Structure 1
Amino acid sequence: MSDLATTQDLDSRLEQHRRELTGYCYRMLGSAFEAEDAVQDTMVRAWRNFEKFEGRSSLRSWLYRIATNVCLDMLNAGNRRARPMDLTAATPVAQAQLNARPEITWLEPVPDGRVLPSVADPAETAVERESIRLAFVAALQHLPPKQRAVLILREVLAWKASEVAELLSTTVASVNSALQRARVTLADARPVSTDADNPLDEEQKKLLDRYVAAFEGYDMQALTALLHEDATLSMPPYDLWLRGHDDIVGWMLGVGSVCRGSRLVPTVANGSPAFAHYHPAEEGDGFTPWALMVIEIVDGRITGINSFLDTQRWFPLFDLPARLDKEGKPAV
Structure 2
Amino acid sequence: MSEVFSARTVDTAAEATEGSDLARARDGDDAAFTRLVAPLRRELHAHCYRMLGSTHDADDALQDALLRAWRGLARFEGRSSLRSWLYTVATHTCLDTVERRGRRALPIDLGPSSDRAVLGDTPLNDVAWLGPYPDAGLAGGLAGPEARYEQREAVELAFVAALQHLPGNQRAALLLFEVLGFSVAEIATTMDTSTASVNSALQRARTIVAEKVPSRTQQQTLREIDDARLREIVAGFSAALESGDADALVALLTEDVTWSMPPLAHWYHGLEAVTDFAVRVPLTGCGSWRHAPTGANGQPAVGCYLWNDDAGAYLAWSVNVLTLRGEHVAEITSFVGPDYFTPFGLPASLP
Runs of 5+ consecutive residues of structure 1 not aligned to the other structure: 326-332
Which residue in the other structure is 2:326 paired with? 299
Separation in 2, partners of 1:52, 1:100: 46
Aligned counterparts of 2:128 and 2:311: Cα–Cα separation in 1: 35
Q: Structure 1 residues 190 and 126 mapped into 2: Cα distance closer, same or farther (>3 Å)?
A: closer
Q: 3-state DSSP class of the match of 2:341? A: helix
Secondary structure of 1:127 counterpart? coil
2:176 maps to what in 1? 153
2:40 is aligned, of 12, 17, 26, to 17
Q: Distance in 1 between the 2:337 and 2:175 partners?
A: 28
Partner of 2:196: 173
Residue in structure 2 matched with residue 236 of structure 1 by the alignment: 262
- Within a 5 Å distance, the mapping from 1:137-216 to structure 2 comes to 137-191=160-214, 193-196=216-219, 201-216=227-242
The match for 1:128 is 151
Q: Which runs of 5+ in 2 are unaligned?
A: 1-19
Change (3 A) 1:125 1:142: closer
Bigger mean CA offset, 78-87 vs 203-212: 203-212
Within 5 A, what are the aligned runs for 1:69-148?
69-93=92-116, 98-102=121-125, 104-114=127-137, 116-118=138-140, 127-148=150-171
Quickly say closer, same or farther: Cα 1:169–1:284, change in 2 above 3 A: closer
Could you tell me how far apart the structure 2 residues matched to 1:32 and 1:223 are?
30
Aligned residue among 49, 52, 69 for 1:26: 49
Structure 1 residue identity aligned to 2:39: Q
AA at the equivalent of 1:252: A
Distance in 2 of aligned mates of 1:79 and 1:262: 35
**How big is the shift at 1:194?**
4.4
For residue 117 of structure 1, what is the amino acid of its counterpart?
A
- 2:278: which partner in 1? 252
Q: Once the 2 structures are TM-superposed, how far is the Cα of residue 168 of structure 1 from its aligned partner? A: 1.2
Structure 1 contact 139–191 (Cα < 8 Å) conserved: no
SS at match of 1:304: strand
Q: Is the Cα–Cα contact under 8 Å of residues 148 and 178 in structure 2 kept in the other structure?
A: no
Range with bigger deviation, 164-173 or 67-76: 164-173
What secondary structure is seen at the aligned counterpart in 2 of 1:263? strand
Q: CA deviation at 1:156?
A: 1.2
> 8 Å contact 2:234–2:302 — kept in the other structure?
no
- Alpha-carbon contact 2:157-2:297 (below 8 Å) kept: yes
Q: What's the offset of the Cα at 1:95?
A: 5.4
* 1:296 CA drift (Å): 0.9
Taking the aligned partners of 1:322 and 1:204, their CA distance within structure 2 comes to 25
Q: What's the secondary structure of 2:159's corresponding residue?
A: helix
Q: Give the whole-Å Cα distance in 2 for the aligned partners of 1:99 and 1:209.
A: 29
1:203-228 CA distance string (max 9 Å, x none): 32222222222222111001101001
- Cα deviation per residue 1:41-63 (whole Å; 9 max; x = unaligned)? 01101111112211111111111
CA deviation string 1:217-268 (max 9, x = no partner)? 1110011010011111111111110112222221222233234431110011
Deviates more, 1:100-109 or 1:40-49: 100-109
2:290 maps to a residue whose letter is R
CA RMSD after TM alignment: 2.6
Match of 2:291?
Answer: 264
For residues 120 and 19 of structure 1, do their structure 2 counterparts lie closer, same or farther at Cα, with a shift above 3 Å needed? closer
User: Cα 1:19–1:307, aligned 2, differ >3 Å: closer, same or farther?
Assistant: same
Task: Give the corresponding residue for 1:68.
Answer: 91
CA distance 1:21–1:53, change in 2 (3 Å): same
AA paired with 1:219?
Answer: D
2-structure distance, mates of 1:308, 1:94:
18
Q: Secondary structure at the match of 1:233?
A: strand
Change in CA separation of 1:94 and 1:39 when aligned onto 2, cut-off 3 Å: closer
Superposed CA offset, 1:253-288 (max 9, x none): 223323443111001111111111011221484311
1:194/1:298 contact within 8 Å kept: no
1:311-322 to 2 correspondences below 5 Å:
311=338, 313-322=339-348
Deviation, 1:97, is 5.8
**Partner of 2:251 in structure 1?**
225
| Identical pairs, percent | 40
- Counterpart-to-counterpart distance in 2, 1:192 and 1:278: 34
CA-CA distance at 1:165 after TM superposition = 1.4
TM-score, structure 1 length as denominator? 0.89
1:125 and 1:162 mapped to 2: Cα distance? 17
- Give the length in aligned residue pairs: 322
